[in-house]
Amino acid sequence: MKHGSLAAEPCAIARSVAALGERWTFVILRQSFMGARRFEDYQQGTGIARNILTERLKTLVDHGILARRPYAQHATRTLHEYRLTQKGLDLYPVMISLLQWGNQHGGFADGPPMTLEHLNCGNTIEPRFTCPCCDGTIDPREMRPHVVEPVSA
């Protein structure tokens, strides 16, 4: 199986990773969720080489995760900003899950380098996955995956 073929697998994880799999993607999206808009915001926030950043931003736009819009017209060129679309905003649980796992296992001796405030209640919180039916906290040992057989043509 080739890398590109992940996008064609009948598996949602494979297709997600086909869109996101390049590791810089997550660092770029971290900046998006922290409010980056302009190319320079992204460049300064990530330290990624400009040519690579240009390419990665284009990939995220191509996947509909970021939207590219003009925000200023200079004499010689138009400047663009890159903002999360709804599809991009829907990645928030992925980012938070990566953040929490890294906070727990990333070797931060002085504690997590980033915390999250829930503006609704004003508390610093650790979001957690719960069941919308029984409100229980999700434990992987209590979850059973079911593969849905494709509808035959």
What's the min distance (Å) between Cβ of 78 and its own copies?
28
Taking CB under 8 A as the criterion, which residues in 6-65 touch its own copies? 6, 10-23, 26-27, 30, 33-34, 46-49, 64
Q: What x-and-dash track marks residues 64-93 binding its own copies by CB under 8 A?
A: x----------------------x-xxxxx
Q: Of residues 51, 73, 76, 147, which one binds its own copies by CB under 8 A? A: 147
Q: How far is residue 123's CA from residue 102's CA, in Å, rounded to a whole number?
A: 21
Burial letters 115-146, b for 16+ CB under 10 A, else e: eeeeeeeeeeeeeeeeeeeeeeeeeeeeeeee
Q: What x-and-dash track marks residues 87-126 binding its own copies by CB under 8 A?
A: x-xxxxxxxxxxxxxxxxxxxx-xxxxxxxxxxxx-xxxx
Q: How far is residue 35's CA from residue 29's CA, in Å, rounded to a whole number?
A: 10
